Structure 1
Amino acid sequence: MSPLPASLFWERRDTSGSEHALVDARGGLYARGTVLAIDPIPFTCRYELRTEPGWSTAHIDVTAEGAGWVRSVRLELAAGRWRATTAEQGNLDAVLSAAGHAGAGLPGIEDPDQLYGAYDVDLGGSPLTNTLPIRRLGLLKAEAGVSHRISAAWVLVPSLEIVQADQIYTPLGDNRIRYASETFSAELTVDDEGFVVDYPGLARRVQ
């Protein structure tokens, strides 16, 4: 495993937790990261992400685990079609139920064709993956106020269920990007490379 040249660290605001990503943004993005959180139950999530040179997602490997369970998913995009490979040990549903939460969906996605037309992956709770559409669409240099609607492959954490999600990114100038989904919006502050510095309500970068 080769060392990577840059390190990013976020402190979660929505729950007790953090994310640490090691990244190489030369010629697209390659990243290895770890997410820690206690909501809805304590878990660790590790991921490896690679994009094409134009910043569309090539693949992401994610493993989430907690007491009594572990799940993994590999999501790949090739020739415009997604493929998901999953594995599961233990019983996440039972752990969630014991903690007073609803059960989780199965890891992966039953019909990957639902993701047709999506070029970005969105890992739940991870500010790193917001960078993918920002860089792919060139939003740091795009006209302010013009919205860009995308379809994303949203990986829910900790279940690793994958769903199609409609999202809107609007550049506002001065390294600010408005992100919106059907039920949520936030004004993100990013650095000159498009990595999130401040995501109100979710995370703040501390390094």
Structure 2
Amino acid sequence: MTLLPHALVWRRTDTTGGEYAGYDDRDGLTAHGYAFAAAPVAYACRYELSADSRWASSRLDVTVEGPGFLRTLKMERASGRWRITTSERGNLNAVLPTAPLAGTEEPERLADALDVDLYASPLTNTLPIRRLNLLGRPAGTSSTITAAWVLLPSLAVVPSEQTYTVLGDGQIRYASGTFSADLTLDEGGYVVTYPGLADR
């Protein structure tokens, strides 16, 4: 595993849980992380994430495990298309009957997704913020993207329309559907406070 020069740690505020992310952002992003949560079922995950020099996501590998189950997801973007593979051991549905299958049966719906969004991970909010250079934009600037949203603990991947609006003073509003949150960011574009979800 590559040694990474920086690290961040978040505490979940909506449930018992947290996230550690080691990263190198000198040329795009290389990150390794670990996250755990007590709900909707106890799980832990580890991930490896890469984004190119333009901060467009290029690869995400995730392994998630919990009582009686282990799932893996590998996503790679090349030539404008995502290639997604999954595996499963045990039975997540035995402890979470509503959990969907890992991956997606319609990868073409992710064609416009340049960003991955790992469920409840503050780190992945940084990807579109840096890719769109929102930190340097005036208040009121707004961009809407399609992200490849990776649900936990199922590892299902769904397209998610998300809007980021610059508020000024280190804050950006994230909105998707009827949900919105005003994120407080540090000078690198990494989340300090995500109301209702996490802080550090």
TM-score band by shorter chain is over 0.9
Deviations 1:111-143 (A, max 9, x none): 110011110000001000000000000000012
The answer for the alignment partner of 1:203 in structure 2 is: 198
Q: % of aligned pairs identical?
A: 56
1:174 Cα deviation from its structure 2 partner: 1.4
| SS of alignment partner, residue 83 of structure 2 | strand
The answer for the alignment partner of 1:100 in structure 2 is: none
Matching of residue 165 in structure 1 with residue 160 in structure 2: yes
What is the alpha-carbon distance in structure 1 between the residues aligned to residue 110 and residue 82 of structure 2? 7
Aligned-partner residue type, residue 21 of structure 1: A
What is the alpha-carbon distance in structure 2 between the residues aligned to residue 162 and residue 118 of structure 1? 11
Aligned-partner residue type, residue 148 of structure 1: S
The answer for the alignment partner of 2:179 in structure 1 is: 184
The answer for the alignment partner of 1:106 in structure 2 is: 101
What is the alpha-carbon distance in structure 2 between the residues aligned to residue 122 and residue 91 of structure 1? 24
What is the alpha-carbon distance in structure 2 between the residues aligned to residue 200 and residue 110 of structure 1? 33
The answer for the alignment partner of 2:123 in structure 1 is: 128
Matching of residue 115 in structure 1 with residue 110 in structure 2: yes
Matching of residue 91 in structure 1 with residue 91 in structure 2: yes
What is the alpha-carbon distance in structure 1 between the residues aligned to residue 101 and residue 66 of structure 2? 16
The answer for the alignment partner of 2:27 in structure 1 is: 27
Deviations 1:43-85 (A, max 9, x none): 0011000000010000000011011100010111111111101
How many residues are aligned here?
200
Matching of residue 193 in structure 1 with residue 191 in structure 2: no
What is the alpha-carbon distance in structure 1 between the residues aligned to residue 100 and residue 124 of structure 2? 22
The answer for the alignment partner of 1:64 in structure 2 is: 64
TM-score (norm 2): 0.98
Aligned-partner residue type, residue 63 of structure 1: T
Aligned-partner residue type, residue 132 of structure 1: L
| SS of alignment partner, residue 96 of structure 1 | coil
The answer for the alignment partner of 2:149 in structure 1 is: 154
The answer for the alignment partner of 2:52 in structure 1 is: 52
1:183 Cα deviation from its structure 2 partner: 2.2
What is the alpha-carbon distance in structure 2 between the residues aligned to residue 143 and residue 83 of structure 1? 36
Matching of residue 143 in structure 1 with residue 138 in structure 2: yes
The answer for the alignment partner of 2:13 in structure 1 is: 13
Aligned-partner residue type, residue 134 of structure 1: I
1:146 Cα deviation from its structure 2 partner: 1.9
TM-score (norm 1): 0.95
| SS of alignment partner, residue 96 of structure 2 | helix
What is the alpha-carbon distance in structure 2 between the residues aligned to residue 193 and residue 146 of structure 1? 18
| SS of alignment partner, residue 2 of structure 1 | coil
1:164 Cα deviation from its structure 2 partner: 0.3
Where in structure 2 are there 5+ consecutive unaligned residues? none
Bigger shift: 119-128 or 140-149?
A: 140-149
Show structure 1 runs of 4+ deviating over 2 A: none
1:173 Cα deviation from its structure 2 partner: 1.2
Where in structure 1 are there 5+ consecutive unaligned residues? 98-102
Aligned-partner residue type, residue 147 of structure 2: A
Aligned-partner residue type, residue 165 of structure 2: T
